[in-house]
Amino acid sequence: MTMVSLGDLAQVFALRRQNAQLSDQLAVLSKEMASGRVSDVAVSLGGDYSHLAAVEHDIKLATARETAASEARVLAGAMQLAVGNVQSGLGALATAAVTAGNPAGGAALEAASAEARGKLDAFVAALNGDIAGRSLFAGDDVATTPLPQPEDIMNAARGAVAGLTSVPAIQSALSDFFHAPGGGFETQVYQGASDPVSPIRLGHGESVTLDVRADDPAIRSALEASVTAALASDSSLTLTTAQRQTLMQGAGEALIGAEGAMTGLRADIGVTESRIEQSLSRIASEKSSLVLARNELLAVDPFQTATELESVRLQLETLYSVTARTSHLNLASFLT
């Protein structure tokens, strides 16, 4: 019978090669066992990546929609907060204006006008707010601050009522200034776009538009009433004390109406916020389903993997034992 034998050096190389192969298999199986995912995707899918590619594409699309919806939620929340600050300021100012407009108000007139001037500063600051450089109330021109400095608004309003000496005339002039098409507000005050901001797409044909602008009629009314209250004690107007009180009384009533209009504006934003939250829930559910589908495509069988891991471990231990025994072979041991 022909005997085939390996030389010592060849045997060493053979053992090393087997050791490397088993060690690599052990490492791969250990990684798959720990991660729960296959290491060789091509083998697992039989070379057909079409289904996996479609799922990966849908996950990326859902992630993009989720990001857009999250940004929309932040913007809507900031708008709601800004309008809420204006509304609360109108309520406090209305009380002061109505009290100062009473003939018995006396010195309260000056205090109410000063408060109105301070509130105007706060209102403009809120309406000029932005998120990451994106203006909230400037319409489609998101890089523009929609309103100028409060003193510029006051100066423009003073120009609109210059020379007028009756309360009805002043009220009419201010109403035209703030509300007339092509009037002073549109030409001298509002600096944003006339077009609404582009809709934010949330998938499946759904989109939301955060189209509240600083030239909204409710916001114009709030600014008009605040400016009127501030002008009630302004030295540029040649009015009697009784006329100033009448003007302040009218401003107080207008402030109450403006506060109510802001409630409607906040309700509109609230509806948009609700739609965004519903979309976020839907997108999160879709994304979870897609991730689960991807995991099923790439998942390993834990029982089979554990069995193979144990088999390779035993083979490696056996190889170590054989290697240890062969390394101790020598001529003296053979002869004895």
pLDDT band at 309 (very low <50, low <70, confident <90, very high): low
pLDDT over 90 at 33, yes or no: no
Cβ atoms 119, 195 nearer than 8 A: no
With the C-alpha atoms ordered 196, 172, 154, 264, is the resulting torsion angle positive or negative? negative
pLDDT band at 102 (very low <50, low <70, confident <90, very high): confident
What average pLDDT does this structure show over 301-317? 63
pTM: 0.76
DSSP character for 204? T
> Rounded to an integer, what distance in angstroms lies between the CA atom of residue 203 and that of residue 64?
10
pLDDT at 135: 94
Return the H-helix or E-strand segment holding 289. Answer: helix 241-298
CA angle at 183 for the pair 195 and 239, rounded to the nearest 5°: 140
Percent with pLDDT over 70 in the chain: 72
Cβ atoms 98, 128 nearer than 8 A: no
Average pLDDT across the chain, whole number: 83
Over the stretch 86-97, which tens digit does the pLDDT of each residue have?
Answer: 999 999 999 999
pLDDT at 51: 76
What is the CATH class of 52-291? mainly alpha
Assigned token pair, 151? 């003193």
Return the H-helix or E-strand segment holding 284. Answer: helix 241-298
pLDDT over 80 at 8, yes or no: no
Cβ atoms 232, 81 nearer than 8 A: no
pLDDT over 60 at 42, yes or no: no
Helix 50-101 with 108-127: angle, nearest 10 deg? 170
DSSP character for 208? E
**C-alpha 135: how far from chain center:** 13
pLDDT at 1: 46
What average pLDDT does this structure show over 33-46? 57
Q: For the ranges 191-200, 283-292, 295-304, 324-333, which has the lowest average pLDDT?
A: 324-333
